[in-house]
Structure 1
Amino acid sequence: MPLSVRRYRVNLCVQFGFLLVDFLINSFGKFAPQGGVVLLVIYILQVVCLIFSVIVLVLSFFSTYAFQAGLTGRLYQRFGPTLCVSACYLLLTVGLDVWLLSACWDAPHAFCWPAGLLPLFVAHRLVSVLHYYMYKRSSLVIADPSLYQDFDW
C-alpha cells in the first residue's frame, strides 16, 4: 500500500510533535515549579511521549512492503540503530528522572544536585542529540517509495 501524502504528513506531524514535547521538557524542565508532583507529571509526560514516538515509528514500519513481504532483516539493517538509540535514550531518561525525583522529593524548593548525577546528565544530553537526529532521519527515510514497491531487494 503506497504511502499517501496526507497520511505521511499526519504521521510526520505526530512524530515531530512527540520530539518537540521531549525537546521542550529537556530544555525547560528545570524551570518548572519545583514541586515534586509537578515534576513527576512532567517527567511522566516525557516518558509517555518517548514510548508513543517509538510506537508510531514501528507502526509506520508495518505499512511498508518490505515488512509485509517478510523482509524484516532489511528494515532492521536500515532502522535498527534508531530503535537501539531510542531504547537507550528511554532508559537514560527514566534513570535521570527517577534519580532527580528521589533525590529532590523531600526538599522541593531547595537546589538539589546529588553527587554523581553529572555523568548521567551529560550522557542523557549527548544521547538525546543522537536520538533526535536518528529519529528525525528515520521519520523522513520511511517515506522512501522503494519501501512501498515490489522490486528486487
Structure 2
Amino acid sequence: MLVERYRPILYLQYFLLLVDLILNSFIEMLRFENVILLVLFVIQDLCIIIAVIVVFLLFFNTYMFQAGLVNILINKFRLAIGVTFVYFGLNVGLHVWEMTLRWDEPNAYIWETPGFIALYVIQRTGAVLYYYFYKRTALKLGDPRFYQDSEWIHKEFERRR
C-alpha cells in the first residue's frame, strides 16, 4: 500500500532530476536570446527548490519525524541535504556569472575567463554528486521502515543516545 502511494512522488523526483540533467546538458544550445536563457536558468533553479521541498515533505511524513526523532532522520540524510544545498549555490552562482558575461552579447565567447571555467567544472561535478545523492535519498525514503514503528528505529534511538 505504502509503495503504491509513494510511486507518483518518486516519479516526480525522477522528473525533476531529468529536467535538471537536460538543462545542464543542452542549455548552451539555447543561448541566442538572453530572456530564453534567463527563463531556463530560473526553471532549473526552481526544479532544485521543488526537489528539496519534496524531500522535506517526505521527511515530515515519516514516523521518525512524527515521533520527534528528527535528529536521527537529519543525521541519516545529512550528506544528501548538504550536497543539494551546495549544488544549488553553485548553480545560482554559475547562472549569475554566465548572465553577467552574456548579457550584452548572448553569443559572446565566454570561455576565456579562468574563474568561470573553474566554476563551470565544479558545478558540473557537483551535479553528478547531486544526481547520485538525491536519487539515493528518494529511493531510501520509499522504504516502508521509515513510515512505521519498528525495532530498527528503537535501535537507532538507543545507539544515538
In 1, Cα distance between the equivalents of 2:103 and 2:47?
23
| AA matched with 2:126 | V
The alpha-carbon deviation at position 26 of structure 1 amounts to 0.2
Contact 1:103 1:112 in 2 (8 A): yes
In 1, Cα distance between the equivalents of 2:144 and 2:36?
44
Number of equivalenced pairs: 151
In 2, Cα distance between the equivalents of 1:9 and 1:143?
8
The equivalent residue for 2:100 is 102
Contact 1:82 1:138 in 2 (8 A): yes
Contact 2:3 2:144 in 1 (8 A): no
* Structure with higher helix content: 2
CA gap of 1:39–1:80, structure 2 versus 1, over 3 A, is same
The equivalent residue for 2:126 is 127
Alignment of 1:4 with 2:2, yes or no, is: yes
The equivalent residue for 2:159 is none
| AA matched with 2:64 | A
Q: Secondary structure at the match of 2:77?
A: helix
| Uncovered stretches (5+) of structure 1, i.e. residues with no partner | none
The alpha-carbon deviation at position 105 of structure 1 amounts to 0.5
| AA matched with 2:27 | G
In 2, Cα distance between the equivalents of 1:150 and 1:110?
58
Q: Secondary structure at the match of 2:72?
A: helix
Alignment of 1:61 with 2:59, yes or no, is: yes
Q: Deviations over 1:34-68 (max 9, x none)?
A: 21111000000000000000000110111110010
| AA matched with 1:75 | L
Share of identical aligned residues, percent? 43
Superposed CA RMSD: 1.2
Contact 1:103 1:114 in 2 (8 A): no
In 1, Cα distance between the equivalents of 2:28 and 2:102?
12
| AA matched with 2:22 | L
The alpha-carbon deviation at position 129 of structure 1 amounts to 0.4
In 2, Cα distance between the equivalents of 1:122 and 1:44?
20
In 2, Cα distance between the equivalents of 1:92 and 1:98?
10
Q: Please identify runs of 4+ aligned residues in structure 1 that moved more than 3 A.
A: none
Q: Secondary structure at the match of 1:108?
A: coil
The alpha-carbon deviation at position 131 of structure 1 amounts to 0.5
Contact 1:66 1:72 in 2 (8 A): yes
